[in-house]
Amino acid sequence: MRVSALGYLLFCVVTLGCGTRASVAEEPNVFRRPALAEASQELQLRGVHFARIGQLPTALQTLQEAVKIAPFSAVARYNLACMYAKNGQPDEGLSSLRRAVELGFRDTAIISKDPDLNSLRELPGFAEIANEAEKPYQPSLRTGQFDDGIAWVGPENTVWEELTNQLRTGFDWKPSGKPRSIILEHGEIGKRLRKWFSEGTAAGNFGDLYDNCDRDHSNLKYSQFPQLHRIEYRPEILADVPQGLQNRLLHGGVVIGNSSTSLVNSPIWRSNPRMAYMMPTSMTALTRQYFHNHLYVYPEHHDHDPGRSGSEKDGNGDVYPANTPYLLISQGSSYTDQPFLDALACTLAAFRPAVKKRLVEAGLIAPTLQQIFRTSYKLVKKPEDYLTGIAHPSVFEGSQIDPLKMVEAAHSMTDETIPPVVRIRVEQQDRGIVGRDYFDISDRELLFDTPCAIARIGRSLKYRRRMIVSARDSMDANQAPLKFRWVVLRGDESLVTVKPLDDEGSRADITVAWHPRRKIQPNSEIESNRVDIGVFAYNGAAWSAPSFVTWFFLDNEDREYDEQGRLLSVAYHGGTDKSPYVDPLIQTPKTWKDDYHYTVDGRLIGWTRIRGTGPDQKVEKFTADGGLVIEEDAEGRPLAAQTVHYIAHAEEKSLPKLMQQLGDEVWRFAYADANDKIGKVISREKVDAVKNNNVSSTTKP
């Protein structure tokens, strides 16, 4: 298949993500590159749009601006080369292509086959550039030095990676002199660690890093871990290192970290984990951290509290749209992350040296820490509790951590008992259609797909949703054969079916029905609209940490289904009326009610949409495919319907609301006989959708 430059650009934009505009920098500090790259990617996406609609000069100008913002970007340079070529400027195109290769562009298949470069291939110099692209490119990662327990991070030991839009740091891990004490104080835990370390059976914390991301607001008491190095950022780059969610850096060591911060007093208030769960690029970053021995802790701060008030301060239940193993979330606000950090530091010190070395080299530290943390959780009273929701909430109580049990589990681990890792992927799934199965600005049911967490938003009005998920990419450090368990950790088990598709349980057919709000556990005061399905692997010696398949249903919808699972009505709230809280980045709110109509044999005819009450009430009719009825016959059947699309509209100082607008096509219907209630479309006509299109026209039956 031939891949165009525009196709490659779209891949890179999806992979790297889009962001807000940033100022131009000729020689940008390496720590500013991720933000500048995001701004450039946004412009490149605009350039794609202009090229697709034939506005090549505008596309070229847009891509030139993208390169000015991020002159270090090989992808931006490559796509500018393509646009120069398409605009009949081959010399400029060749120069831009050469610079792209110098900066590390190495997709030789694209260079050799991309039709956008056809006008360049016969030019002197093209073959030389193509040959240069065949050579390996690996930016050298310099290593930083340590200073009395401080691991300094600065331009001298940091590089930017374009594929992931992340920064990587390196350190010179060379032991010097006599090892420091493994731990200070810590009661019985300290006694055991010091004994094991003196015997040579505990690895200690050499090679471990502590990364505080809240400007020392809630610090681990790192002085009690003399072998642990804490990360500090050079003063001259501190302003370019974001506080809060750490989704920019991969450090050269085993990392535990935290940020006791949240976004507050904002219409999009949220904790750091909820911020991450809403951004595909952040989920990619968290996944890389997970498999590069990084584990961070963040407080939930109002995202997981009793109540249903709709406000930031009073509690709204568990509003996390997903559950993942990529981080740990503490119940409460500032400083509640402290017992987590301390327990993780102790656990890292307790591993046997050979076992820890193997975990580090295989990138298994974070999954193993998660397994130890969850199996040791005090609410897990017996082994079988580990395969229930008790062990895998979205948020953990610090008072229920058992650090002594955690260090004992780490120290007793051998090569043969290293837990496996579950990696999952969707093979097949139902997809809802915007404008027919649900109403929003775009296709927004897929929240994210990552190797250890799959998250969906239950927008579609269908009662049951189906997907087939595979865990065949799972791995075990010793290549042991794996058996799998798929467990409903949260939700109504009568509304969820999980059918294994092979003897090992490596694939499963999952069906999830629409879920009303319910308690996260029978005795809990906190409620949730999320269904969690955990996937576990067993290697004959240990269960893995969980991977998750989650469905999040919207709390501002009142749905009514019949016994056959047909939707009778749905009332939407939050547009012009009050409603329970739903993350505004998940759904654009609206206020109306849809009543659904069926034939005698159960086929959908369409629905009636009602807005308001009394004399101001507006009523509209829609066809089964979502067209707005604009003409009816004497029996009330549609003779003509106009397409509709949905947009987000924001008044000043308010969040966007969903509005419907007329589209540019009219469908005309014909019917076989008087008993035909659905009919068929016999013609489609293009119309001017601009006239009188503030909101769709309304009709009254």
Q: Which residues contact 69 (CB under 8 A, 6 or more apart)?
A: 22, 24, 25, 36, 39, 40, 43
Q: Is the pLDDT of residue 6 over 70?
A: no
Beta-strand (E) ranges in 101-244? 146-147, 150-153, 158-161, 166-169, 208-212, 229-233
| Closest C-alpha among 465, 383, 473 to residue 420 | 473
Amino acid 139: pLDDT: 77
d(CA 589, CA 579): 9
d(CA 479, CA 418): 11
Q: Is the pLDDT of residue 697 over 70?
A: no
CATH class of domain segment(s) 425-553: mainly beta
User: Strand order in 294-299's β-sheet?
Assistant: 146-147, 150-153, 229-233, 208-212, 254-258, 294-299, 328-330
3-state helix, strand and coil shares in percent for the chain, rounded to the nearest 5? 30, 25, 45
d(CA 221, CA 230): 10
The 8 Å CB, 24+ separation contacts for 492-501 are: 492/518, 496/531, 496/533, 498/533, 501/468
Residue-wise pLDDT for 338-381, tens only, equals 999 999 999 999 999 999 999 999 999 999 999 999 999 999 99
CB 257 within 8 A of CB 297: yes
Helices (H), 103-186: 108-113, 126-133
pLDDT band at residue 8 using 50, 70 and 90 as cut-offs? very low
Q: Is the pLDDT of residue 274 over 50?
A: yes
Q: Which residues contact 43 (CB under 8 A, 6 or more apart)?
A: 62, 63, 65, 66, 69
Single-letter code of the amino acid located at 456: R
Buried b (16+ CB within 10 A) or exposed e, 559-591: bebeeeebbeebbbbbbeeebbbbbbbbbbbbb
Amino acid 696: pLDDT: 41
Amino acid 174: pLDDT: 86
pLDDT band at residue 24 using 50, 70 and 90 as cut-offs? very low
| Closest C-alpha among 327, 351, 343 to residue 400 | 343
| Mean of pLDDT over the chain | 92
Q: Is the pLDDT of residue 112 over 50?
A: yes
- How many residues are there in the chain? 701
Mapping DSSP to helix (H, G, I), strand (E, B) and coil, where does residue 22 land? coil
Amino acid 287: pLDDT: 98
Provide the 10 A C-beta neighbour count for residue 692. Answer: 10
Q: Which residues contact 34 (CB under 8 A, 6 or more apart)?
A: 160, 165, 166, 167, 248
Strands 304-305 vs 592-598: parallel, antiparallel or unpaired: unpaired
CB 257 within 8 A of CB 326: no
Amino acid 693: pLDDT: 58
- Domain ranges within the chain, ordered by starting residue: 5-133, 146-417, 425-553, 557-686
| Closest C-alpha among 398, 374, 395 to residue 386 | 374
| Closest C-alpha among 149, 152, 148 to residue 171 | 152
Amino acid 358: pLDDT: 98
Amino acid 144: pLDDT: 84
Residue-wise pLDDT for 653-667, tens only, equals 788 999 999 999 999
Tell me which residue has tokens 């030789």: 108
Strands 527-528 vs 518-519: parallel, antiparallel or unpaired: antiparallel
| Closest C-alpha among 301, 303, 489 to residue 380 | 489
Provide the 10 A C-beta neighbour count for residue 672. Answer: 9
Q: What is the DSSP track for 192-205?
A: HHHHHHHHT----S
| Closest C-alpha among 530, 601, 515 to residue 564 | 601
Residue-wise pLDDT for 212-222, tens only, equals 999 999 999 99
Calculate Rg over the CA atoms of the chain: 28
Least confident of 160-164, 349-353, 537-541: 160-164
Q: Is the pLDDT of residue 311 over 90?
A: no
Do 5-133 and 425-553 have matching folds? no
Amino acid 2: pLDDT: 24
Of the two residues 18 and 308, the one the predictor is more confident about is 308
d(CA 485, CA 570): 35
Q: What is the DSSP track for 60-77?
A: HHHHHHHHHH-TT-HHHH
pLDDT band at residue 148 using 50, 70 and 90 as cut-offs? confident
Amino acid 691: pLDDT: 60
Tell me which residue has tokens 């004994």: 195
Q: Which residues contact 678 (CB under 8 A, 6 or more apart)?
A: 599, 603, 605, 624
User: In this structure, what token pair is assigned to residue 291?
Assistant: 């498999």
Q: Which helix (H) or strand (E) holds 360?
A: helix 353-362
User: In this structure, what token pair is assigned to residue 302?
Assistant: 């109002």
| Closest C-alpha among 211, 209, 543, 227 to residue 370 | 543
Residue-wise pLDDT for 243-273, tens only, equals 999 999 999 999 999 999 999 999 999 999 9
| Closest C-alpha among 209, 303, 289 to residue 246 | 289
Q: What is the DSSP track for 23-41?
A: ---SS--GGGHHHHHHHHH
pLDDT band at residue 7 using 50, 70 and 90 as cut-offs? very low
Amino acid 68: pLDDT: 96
For residue 406, how many C-alpha atoms fall within 13 Å in the half-sphere facing its CB?
A: 26
Q: Is the pLDDT of residue 698 over 50?
A: no
Quote the CATH superfamily of domain 5-133.
Answer: Tetratricopeptide repeat domain (1.25.40.10)
d(CA 79, CA 154): 31
Residue-wise pLDDT for 94-106, tens only, equals 999 999 999 999 9
Amino acid 5: pLDDT: 39
pLDDT band at residue 146 using 50, 70 and 90 as cut-offs? confident
For residue 144, how many C-alpha atoms fall within 13 Å in the half-sphere facing its CB?
A: 25
Q: Which residues contact 162 (CB under 8 A, 6 or more apart)?
A: 16, 37, 73, 74, 75, 104
Backbone angles phi, psi at 666, to 5 degrees: -115, 130
d(CA 433, CA 125): 49
Sign of CA dihedral 196, 198, 200, 204: positive
| Closest C-alpha among 606, 636, 627 to residue 685 | 627
Backbone angles phi, psi at 348, to 5 degrees: -60, -35
Amino acid 633: pLDDT: 96
| Closest C-alpha among 425, 141, 442 to residue 287 | 425
Strands 294-299 vs 638-649: parallel, antiparallel or unpaired: unpaired
Q: Is the pLDDT of residue 572 over 50?
A: yes
Single-letter code of the amino acid located at 459: R
Residue-wise pLDDT for 447-472, tens only, equals 999 999 999 999 999 999 999 999 99
Report the Cα 184 to chain-centroid distance in Å: 39
CB 663 within 8 A of CB 644: yes
